Amino acid sequence: MSTADLGLPVDVPSTALFTDQYELTMLQGALRAGTAGRRSVFEVFTRRLPNGRRYGVVAGTGRVLDAVENFRFDEGVLHFLRERRIVDDRTLEWLAGYRFSGDIWGYPEGEVYFPGSPIMRVEGSFAECVLLETVILSILNHDSAIAAAASRMSSAAGDRPLIEMGARRTHELAAVAAARAAYVGGFSSTSDLAAGFRYNIPTVGTSAHAFTLLHDSERDAFRAQVDSLGGGTTLLVDTYDVAEAVRTAVEVAGPELGAVRIDSGDLLLVAHRVRQQLDELGATGTKILVTSDLDEYAIASLAAAPVDAYGVGTQLVTGSGHPTASMVYKLVARAASTDPRAPLVPVAKKSTGGKTSVGGRKWAARRLDAYGVAEAEVVGTGEVPAELADRQLLVPLVEGGEVIAREPLDVVRDRHAAARAGLPLSATQLSRGEPVIPTEYVHGGSGS
């Protein structure tokens, strides 16, 4: 079942206009030239990882499948294109019947990737594939950037759970996608109810400083919250004086108080003081949740602190300084004619400035060392070497226009944890460095 079938309020009628205009003008030109029907292969990849990152995380694949399935030029969309004279009548007629009928292969969602990895491969006629460039890139670039930041944060957090709390720091629909990507990257819950509703991600939430300020005293606020939510709730203790708030919280909720949240100050110092105070008050089972503009570095700095969970917002939903994965969508092979039997011809852009591409329909495999740890990302064209045949990374996602690879989000989340665990230990270091394994190219035939 797709999200469109659920009729959720954050869906749009069609994804067809999540498109740059030049994709439609290229379509019009190709239709006129008679080249629109040529079998073509487009690939999504990135030339480099963000500075200092050791690996990337594939996220958003499930959303891409929904977007491709809902890529339809209905009458309202066609009217807009006709009224603006964006394309001619022949192109409008072609768009009216648009249904992607090709194949899509890709790294399974949650997998890690490296520079040059063919993260997604889209095959079909030039006309039907070229239209998908913007929507595919917008989803994968955003979600993969968030998932990579989440992965670094979850690695730094170890076994301590992470709560996604960034909905107020980004676009309201991007917040839903960010919560999903964060879950893929290792977060355990979200504060965003739309994400919980749409993707079945566990949701959490208690109160903000406004709730304390509303009441005549902090004790009154705590009493109201405990009466409403029970003693297992999380009380925010840094509105006024932290030590006094902790004492009041235990008096109101008892030693079975679920947790306290600290949202400001020197978190390392305050967490130690709060833990000591809670223990002295007999609330030895009360957990400590910290928030306040955390990123992976702040989380790592709290590794020795008596902290039980982290809440992360701004830095997560902005990719911790890298809000895009810089992926591109390039034509790498096309047929010499519109004859379905015509062989594929590798094509590639030649330019300066680091924007060169490698032509040819590619496969990818991850070579392991004697200990079962990844040692290279091998990307090639033509035949796959026998020793890498069972290590191939691309899997079929869409076949003949039909989605065949939807899967539960928990499966994706578990896959990422396993993929990250299969990398060299230095992958989780936060210090600056190169990709944790190199990308090696094996050149062969066109792979037609």
How do residues 368-381 score in pLDDT, each as one tens digit?
A: 999 999 999 999 99
Tell me the fold of 172-319: TIM Barrel (3.20.20)
Where the chain has pLDDT below 70, the residues are 1-13, 351-354, 444-448
Q: How far apart are CA 318 and CA 316, in angstroms?
A: 5
Burial of 4 (0-12, 13-18, 19+ CB in 10 A): middle
Strand partners, 312: 164
Q: What is the pLDDT of residue 370?
A: 96
Q: How many of the other CB atoms lie within 10 Å of CB of 155?
A: 19
Domain residue limits, the chain: 3-131+326-442, 172-319
How do residues 111-170 score in pLDDT, each as one tens digit?
A: 999 999 999 999 999 999 999 999 999 999 999 999 999 999 999 999 999 999 999 999
Q: Which option is the CATH number for 3-131+326-442: 3.40.50.2300, 3.30.1300.30, 3.20.140.10, 3.40.630.30?
A: 3.20.140.10
Q: What is the pLDDT of residue 14?
A: 83
Q: What is the pLDDT of residue 444?
A: 65
Burial of 276 (0-12, 13-18, 19+ CB in 10 A): exposed
Q: What is the pLDDT of residue 1?
A: 42
Same fold, 3-131+326-442 and 172-319: no
Q: Could you tell me the pTM of the whole model?
A: 0.93
Contact in structure between 102 and 401 (CB atoms under 8 Å): yes
Q: What is the pLDDT of residue 352?
A: 64
Please, what is the angle between helix 409-421 and helix 133-157, to 10°? Answer: 60
Burial of 143 (0-12, 13-18, 19+ CB in 10 A): buried
Q: Helix count (H) and strand count (E) of the chain? A: 16, 18
Q: What is the pLDDT of residue 72?
A: 94
Sheet holding 103-106, edge to edge: 344-346, 327-335, 39-46, 120-125, 103-106, 395-399, 402-403
